[in-house]
Amino acid sequence: MSKEIKIKKGLNINLFGEAEKTVFELAAKQYAIKPTDFVGVFPKLLVKEGDVVKAGSPVFFDKYRENIQFTAPVSGTITEIKRGAKRVLQEIIIEADEEIKYESFGKANPCDLKKEEIIEKLLKSGVWTLIQQRPYSIIADPKAEPKAIFILGFDSAPLAPDYDFLVHRHGEEFQTGLDAIAKLTLGKVHLNINTDLPGSKVFTNSKNVQINNFIGPHPAGNVGTQINKLDPINKGDIVWYLRPQEVITIGKLFFEGKYDASRVIALTGSEIKKTTYYKTYIGASIEAMINDNLKQENVRCISGNVFTGTKIEKTGFLSFYDYQITVIPEGDHYDFFGWLLPGLHKHSFYRTFIAWLTPKKKFKVHTNLNGGERAFVMTGQFEKVFPLDIYPMQLLKAIIIEDIDAMENLGIYEVDEEDFALCEYISTSKINIQSIVRKGLDMIRKEMS
Amino acid sequence: MKAIRNILDNIKPHVEKGGKFHFLRSTFDAVETLFFVPNRVTMKGSHIRDSVDMKRTLIVVVFALVPALLFGMWNTGRLHFEAIGEITTFWPTFWYGFFKILPIIIVTYVVGLAIEIFFAQKRGHEVNEGFFVTGMLIPLILPADVPLWMVAVATAFAVIIGKEVFGGTGMNIMNPALIARAFLFFAYPSKMSGDIIWVSGMSKGENIVDGFSGATPLGDALVGNLDKLPSPMEMIIGTIPGSVGETSVIAILIGAVIMLYTGVASWRIMFSVIAGGLIMGLTFNIVAVNDYMALPAWQHLVLGGFAFGAVFMATDPVTASQTNKGKYIYGFLIGLLAVLIRVVNPAYPEGMMLAILLMNVFAPLIDHYVVEGNIKKRLKRLKIVQKI
């Protein structure tokens, strides 16, 4: 039984720099696993500089959940282990082999396996880390009983890659992955698509899942929105979620018996000369992509989208869960009477800028805060871009005053920072709302453990 | 533009921490951000941010107040010359009001901003733009003849007691501009009410034409002189005695359109204030035991400060209800109470100020119950799941 859900509240921003639909092989030499991509993981290293690894060899594990281990996406030599302030592990860099060698985990048909066997295979190969859970957006707990599993069949964020294009011709692996995932829960597996976007046969032909249709602006593609509309999280509930290329990786683990971390990713943004798709592996260095491909040098490279992505260097690496690199200009300049002039080329959610008259126009956005930080003043604005049945302003205030009961009552288990990204974007007071939400989630998680 | 930037860049090191003039940091900040949106970039969270900021939002409100201000200036002059029996042309009339009201605006801004900057410096914050609007609202809700020292005292009281003690813009409970007015109303009632204070020059009593009454329509209505009320058309256009900015419903409506179109003010509040006023007026019409109660309900909307309060005062986002449902209740009760106080209470001719201040205090309570509804829904969902 599929459902159709219309999302009314939200905001789409038209940006310059959408990726052209051609795929190039990316000849990246270096790959990295970044422990900072994983919320709440405390890494314990299993390798040292100079070690040789295969794709699927363990690299580190989580000190608090030792059965969760993280494996190399490609084969090669560990060339550098980068640490930051207080010796926090930042990046484990692998110099890749010409031809990738894989650890063998044995082929199997997931339909013939028991739940425990599937979990064991996923954990051993490190593929388990691709499955995340709500609340908290951490890696799923293998011992937990999720009430449902969500597969996000589209991305509604600005310049997001076309998922149909990503999964094209991987129908068989995708279905194998779904079969494995279906065994992990007693509840439903939801595959959520948007029929306003070019539909993919890979998705619509899938079996063993409930296909739901979400129509509307961003954040319709966010897992938080989809869970809230289909099967909201109550205190104590757990929902797992993953994206289509993760499903294919799981499929390949059973189909071919190896950890194939290949990804098709989109290179997007107004400062890229040739925006396109690349075929590469998780953790690829972006250097080869943006070399000689930038319109100017003063740019910000983001792994992910402009709302929730991670800032990376020009020599940085693709983050674990991202399908997209965005490059936009830095905004470190003064804007003469910027708050007073009509603003023909300035994107705003509000109608105080003339640009409002041309809603279909494409914008080039930069990273300036566009104002100073203030206390909350305006009200009723967040509600216009926040489709969840939650009072966003009240929840934020509960977090700021660290009132755990109020946070629970107001629905903190149902959200994470990405759900508030649009609120942060439109905030007149320039408040760092995503940080506030993460602080609240960390507080709750500590309280519950 | 380059030259201004250079001057600012030269001064900047002296007001930074450790500089000789660090105590002027907030003043410098206020001036710098007036000319330039700063070069700060996003460090956390979303990499891009909306082009809007607090300055942009609040300047829209100030623009929306301009029609009421300009009309108020002209009307001040018009009433003055009418009172002394002189006939003049448009410009002398306007300039009379302009020079009467400009000093009030200047005093309000100087006193208010000085206090704001002082607190910003003390707290190490940037100067908040909230006073942009408050400083324009205060002159518009006073009679044109108000002594300037009173404006200064009231503004200081409003900013310190009404706002800064709570933590500044965004934290205050009651509308600062209305606090200024309420302060004057209760501290100096002889200068804030009566029949002779509303027309410039009349309180001095010189050269006033015999038989000229400076009473506001509300003052007339309260003492039962309903036959003396100006025609509804006059009240809509605003050629009547009253506070500077409140008289012209047309000018206020222009402001309302600007604020609603840009989405700066809440249509929910404006709509429900009007609904509340109409319903109370209609209720009076039904029971009507005196002439005032029999006044057609819609005329309450154009009388006194009702329109100005509904558009500019009740919609202050900080002191209004914050939830959408709450806004309906909040606005409705303001309209209801304003007309109730106006008609029934013999002590106060105008109920709008007190109605808004009262509902400011109750706004958090309204929100509490609205949010409680959402919480209950969530708990109920949890209980259903547990039963299964």
The answer to whether residue B223 scores a pLDDT higher than 80 is: no
Structure confidence at residue A220 (pLDDT): 94
DSSP secondary structure of A189-202:
EEEEE-TTSPP-HH
Structure confidence at residue A81 (pLDDT): 95
Structure confidence at residue B363 (pLDDT): 96
Average pLDDT, chain B: 90
Nearest CA to A58 out of A140, A125, A128, A120 is that of A125
Angle made by CA atoms B13, B19, B24, in degrees to the nearest 5 = 90
Structure confidence at residue B129 (pLDDT): 85
Strand partners, A62: A43
- Tokens standing for A151? 């597969």
**CA pair distance A248, A232, nearest whole angstrom:** 27
Would you call A372 and B38 a contact, using CB atoms and an 8 Å cutoff?
A: yes
Among A107-111, B259-263, B363-367, top mean pLDDT goes to B363-367
Using the 8-state DSSP alphabet, how is residue B309 labeled? I
Would you call A237 and B385 a contact, using CB atoms and an 8 Å cutoff?
A: yes
Nearest CA to A370 out of B51, B310, B231 is that of B51
Angle made by CA atoms B166, B172, B174, in degrees to the nearest 5 = 130
The 10s digit of each residue's pLDDT in B328-343 is 999 999 999 999 998 8
Structure confidence at residue B34 (pLDDT): 85
**CA pair distance A251, A243, nearest whole angstrom:** 13
Q: Which residues of B touch A421 (CB under 8 A)?
A: 45-46
Q: Which residues of A touch B43 (CB under 8 A)?
A: 432
Give the residue ranges of chain A where pLDDT is below 70.
Answer: 1
Would you call B48 and A428 a contact, using CB atoms and an 8 Å cutoff?
A: no
- Place B221 in a pLDDT band, splitting at 50, 70 and 90: confident
Structure confidence at residue B388 (pLDDT): 63
Name the residue with tokens 């499903």: A247
Determine the longest span between alpha carbons in chain B, in angstroms.
86
| Nearby residues of A79 by Cβ (< 8 Å), 6 or more positions away | A30, A49, A93, A94, A95
Structure confidence at residue A5 (pLDDT): 93
Q: Which residues of B touch A334 (CB under 8 A)?
A: 5, 36-39
Instruction: With beta carbons less than 8 A apart as the criterion, state whether A366 and B51 touch.
Output: no
- Tokens standing for B286? 């039904």
Beta pairing class for A43-45 and A58-62: antiparallel
Residue B58: its H or E element: helix B54-83
**CA pair distance B204, B200, nearest whole angstrom:** 9
Mean pLDDT of B339-351: 84
The answer to whether residue B3 scores a pLDDT higher than 90 is: no
- What amino acid is encoded at A290 in this protein? I
Q: Which of B52, B268, B381 sits opposite A350 (nearest CB)?
A: B52
Mean pLDDT of B243-250: 92
Range in B38-52, B54-68, B126-140, B216-230 the model is least confident about:
B216-230
**CA pair distance A284, A263, nearest whole angstrom:** 10
Nearest chain A residue to B385 by CA distance is: A234
Nearest chain A residue to B319 by CA distance is: A377
Would you call B126 and A372 a contact, using CB atoms and an 8 Å cutoff?
A: yes
| Nearby residues of A310 by Cβ (< 8 Å), 6 or more positions away | A37, A302, A303, A304, A319, A322
Structure confidence at residue B316 (pLDDT): 94
Reduce the DSSP state of residue A26 to 3 states and report it.
coil
ipTM: 0.92
Structure confidence at residue A1 (pLDDT): 62
Reduce the DSSP state of residue B23 to 3 states and report it.
helix
Nearest CA to A303 out of A255, A259, A258, A268 is that of A268
Structure confidence at residue B27 (pLDDT): 84
Would you list the domain boundaries of chain B? 1-49, 54-373
Nearest chain A residue to B30 by CA distance is: A372
Q: Show the beta-strand stretches assigned E in chain B.
A: 36-37
Q: Which residues of B touch A237 (CB under 8 A)?
A: 385
Would you call B36 and A337 a contact, using CB atoms and an 8 Å cutoff?
A: yes
**CA pair distance B265, B313, nearest whole angstrom:** 10
Reduce the DSSP state of residue B297 to 3 states and report it.
helix
Structure confidence at residue B152 (pLDDT): 96
Beta pairing class for A52-53 and A76-83: antiparallel
**CA pair distance B300, B279, nearest whole angstrom:** 11
Instruction: With beta carbons less than 8 A apart as the criterion, state whether A312 and B15 touch.
Output: no
Q: Which of A336, A394, A411 sits opposite B378 (nearest CB)?
A: A411
Reduce the DSSP state of residue A266 to 3 states and report it.
strand
DSSP secondary structure of A34-63:
-GGGSTT--EEE---TT-EE-BT-EEEEES
Percent of chain B clearing pLDDT 90 (strictly above): 57
Q: Which of A336, A350, A383 sits opposite B262 (nearest CB)?
A: A350
Would you list the domain boundaries of chain A? 4-255, 369-448
Query: ω into residue A219 within 30 of 0, thus cis?
Result: yes
